[in-house]
Chain A
């Protein structure tokens, strides 16, 4: 499995011991983020706009008013699910680039469940069925790459990329040829009836005195938050999580310990695919009330950035997904306010975050280690340096 064992945690652990946790998990990610934003600012300058103005609009657009907050949370819900999906695979040493495709196919599950039930039952009956269907469809789409990695050693990065494209072709075919009502101009299913509309959280926010207007944030947010907790428990508090981490860090040692990397690879990818699949609930049953072409709109890839920024930890992922939610919502407002800045700016920022928090994660670390070393010089050495036998 050497090929797949290139997931970030393996990288990140190299010299982790040399820095205390608060630098490692808070200061360093912030430094990476700052670098990403600095470069983004330069790009904004490059097209002749004022980056500070842009930041102001971005913040106002995402947090400045109720509807903005609602949208921010709506997007964050998507990213939380896909981020968790990427993170679970990371812990097993797997790089699941296929979140996009898994969410897309998960949407098929949601769509079918909704189409089958929406006319007959209330939403709270459709809801669990749709969650289960999303998870099953998403997991199924992850199964083949997982099996190929585990059994035949096919590089999972490549197979999941291929499966994203295959998913896209499959979904277009299904929507265009089978699911779209005759005469419709758009390849999308009919609009669901009330039985497949998830409750929006407007009422809840109103209790807090916040008017979120038309923002589609809905109860999927709670599903995502619950998923954060469950993933935390899974990874750090269960036997399965222990086995997943063991395989992720050192598959040879895992075999020695009687853990089957084949089984863990498949199980971890199934969980990952299921999490990605559940993401589909949010736009389909919470916003559009129909299954559309390309509804995932890159959320599967944002999950990569979110997982890297959040250091594959649910708390980090929750925070990072809110940050990306802000970028998406604030970015829309920004595009609206400053015509020369298009929404693509957030794709640029996303790329820079992945670059600095992922590929260049070691760029600032030596500096921090040196700085921290200077700072602590003369004090008692940290426990990590205590002499051995």
Chain B
């Protein structure tokens, strides 16, 4: 897509040339060249960890590139800090919002653009300007509301307002829809189109191909720190993009035999959870999983999936409801904890291995028994039987091909995929009756994904009950025997694995058609 020869074209709004960036051992961006035309919506897709956020953070001056240069409207600019980027007309909405929660909307918008060393004058100006922006883009929000109290959708709006308030000509959005319902996402896209039509440039990062196809004019694909191609959206297909993303043809379906479910292993009834602030996180959840069955939970992040896993695994106490494991009642509202749940055969692969599943500062062998460290096999009275622990770890490393095969290595020194395998090996090898799995393939490369998927199917075929939570609808659809959809802490529907992405998406947004299985009370069947 070299257009350099055609002199008649205006220079691109943004041009990145030879950008290179490493974080210690991780080479996040490799020699990146990218041109983004003025008044276009430019998508950037790529797997987790491909380097998308890093690249945009460099453009925004948040990180400094090790090499390379940035040109804006044809002129080279030196972007040392976000300040420079803002001055150059770039605004960015980060993947993790950059808001000061105890501040009001107005204060957040003003921060860094106060218009003088005293606040009084700036406040009046900002209020007026906010009203104007609200009117022109239908970005309604109460300027005096405290940001921490607002729902994420509104918080994102504030981020956009922040950028526009600073006069951004180019707006970068990093995975803006991860936290939005499809309807909210559609509203966002309308705003983006409107911005483009007013001559602004938009860069949209996502790894959801549907969104790319729906809203962008051009799309660049990143893989392992490189831009592998830039295409006109109209001239490509999701399949082509997916192939570029992972570097080979992808088989999104997993080969598996039909399930032959046995007796109910996990039986959840009327499970309700209210958090410390009194917000209902789980609302009367009922379902069951039978032996030899994988049940997938689909839903937008933050609709209660995490809490569901945490309650069933004993990490969090439910407010009311009952859970039976293999027919035995468990006191999920009182005495149970993670270690009791394990003892009755509930294993848990948590969604976030760094935060929860591993103590990364431990040696690998210590993590290989995390949660099972009170098992007699590893103990000698109050003492740890280190030999037994290490033997056990070595065996698992071999079995799961965890590399490097050194069980005394600190866990933080293993790559993401291998860390995930450490967790999976630990939990699966207990041969649990019930396996709770959250985001099993997040940040894991394609080879490992296949391995993990096969392991899960094998466990199912061996008679385990598996509850699978994933943001990847493809993963849910290809692994699950049944799919439950969660929205707002409730189960809003049940579908078979053949349900279309559109159908599930509508349910996830809470706008699905009436579903007999989802009526409150009875378990879906």
Contact = CB atoms under 8 A, between A and B. Distances in A.
**A–B contact, 8 Å CB criterion (strictly below):** yes
Interface string A237-276: 1111111011001101111111110000000000000000
B413 A389 contact: no
B356 A389 contact: no
A370 interface: no
A3 to B, nearest CB: 17
Given A238-B384, A246-B362, A384-B409, A256 B373 contact: no
Contacts of B416: 388
A384 B401 CA distance: 16
A379 interface: no
B370 A239 contact: no
A176 to B, nearest CB: 43
Contacts of A239: 373-374, 379, 382-384
Contacts of B448: 389
A234 B386 CA distance: 13
Nearest to A382: B413
B386 to A, nearest CB: 7
Interface string B417-440: 110010000000000000000000
Contacts of B358: 250, 253
Interface string A1-42: 000000001000101111000000000000000000000000
B338 A256 contact: yes
A384 B410 CA distance: 8
Contacts of A243: 373
B417 A389 contact: yes
Interface string B450-491: 010000000000000000000000000000000000000000
B356 A252 contact: yes
A383 interface: yes
Contacts of B445: 389
Given A257-B371, A258-B339, A386 B360 contact: no
Contact of A258 (B24, B371, B386): B371
Contacts of A383: 404, 406, 409
Interface residues of B, number: 50
B384 A237 contact: yes
B410 A388 contact: no
B357 A253 contact: yes
B47 interface: no
A238 B382 contact: yes
Contacts of A255: 315, 338, 356
A377 interface: no
Contacts of A245: 359, 362
B157 interface: no
Residue of B340, B361, B404 most packed against chain A (CB within 10 A): B361
B172 to A, nearest CB: 29
Interface in A219-239: 233, 237-239
Given A239-B373, A253-B359, A388 B382 contact: no
Contact of B337 (A250, A260, A385): A260
Residue of A241, A245, A256 most packed against chain B (CB within 10 A): A256
Nearest to A16: B410
B359 A250 contact: yes
Interface string B322-361: 0000000000000001111110000010100001111111
A358 B479 CA distance: 50
A388 B403 contact: yes
Interface string B23-34: 011000000000
A245 B411 CA distance: 14
A161 to B, nearest CB: 26
A254 B174 CA distance: 32
A245 B410 CA distance: 14
B366 interface: yes
B403 A256 contact: no
Given A239-B379, A239-B384, A256-B348, A389 B338 contact: no
Contacts of B414: 388
B418 A388 contact: yes
B315 A389 contact: no
A383 B406 CA distance: 8
A215 B210 CA distance: 81
Contact of A249 (B350, B362, B402): B362
B404 A17 contact: no
A256 B421 contact: no
Contacts of A256: 313, 315, 338, 348, 350, 356-357, 370-371
Contacts of A237: 383-384, 386
B415 interface: yes
Interface in A357-389: 383-389
B69 interface: no
A260 B414 CA distance: 27
Interface in A187-234: 233
Nearest to B367: A253
Contacts of B404: 383, 386
A243 B415 CA distance: 25
Contact of B373 (A18, A242, A387): A242
Contacts of B412: 13, 17
A18 B415 CA distance: 15
B182 interface: no
A252 B415 CA distance: 21
B151 interface: no
B10 interface: no
B438 to A, nearest CB: 11
Contact of B421 (A16, A246, A389): A389
Contacts of B342: 258
Nearest to B416: A388
B296 interface: no
B260 to A, nearest CB: 32
Interface string A295-338: 00000000000000000000000000000000000000000000
A9 B410 CA distance: 14
B447 interface: yes
B403 A386 contact: yes
B314 interface: yes
Contacts of B379: 239
A129 B259 CA distance: 67
25 contacts: A17-B412, A18-B24, A233-B383, A237-B383, A238-B384, A239-B373, A239-B384, A242-B373, A243-B373, A246-B370, A249-B361, A249-B362, A255-B356, A256-B313, A256-B350, A256-B357, A257-B371, A257-B373, A258-B338, A384-B409, A386-B404, A387-B415, A388-B403, A389-B445, A389-B448
Given A258-B371, A384-B409, 18 more contacts: A18-B24, A239-B382, A245-B359, A253-B355, A253-B357, A253-B358, A254-B359, A256-B315, A256-B338, A256-B348, A256-B350, A257-B338, A257-B371, A257-B373, A258-B342, A384-B413, A389-B421, A389-B451
Minimum-distance CB pairs A-B, first 5: A258-B339, A388-B415, A258-B338, A386-B404, A257-B371
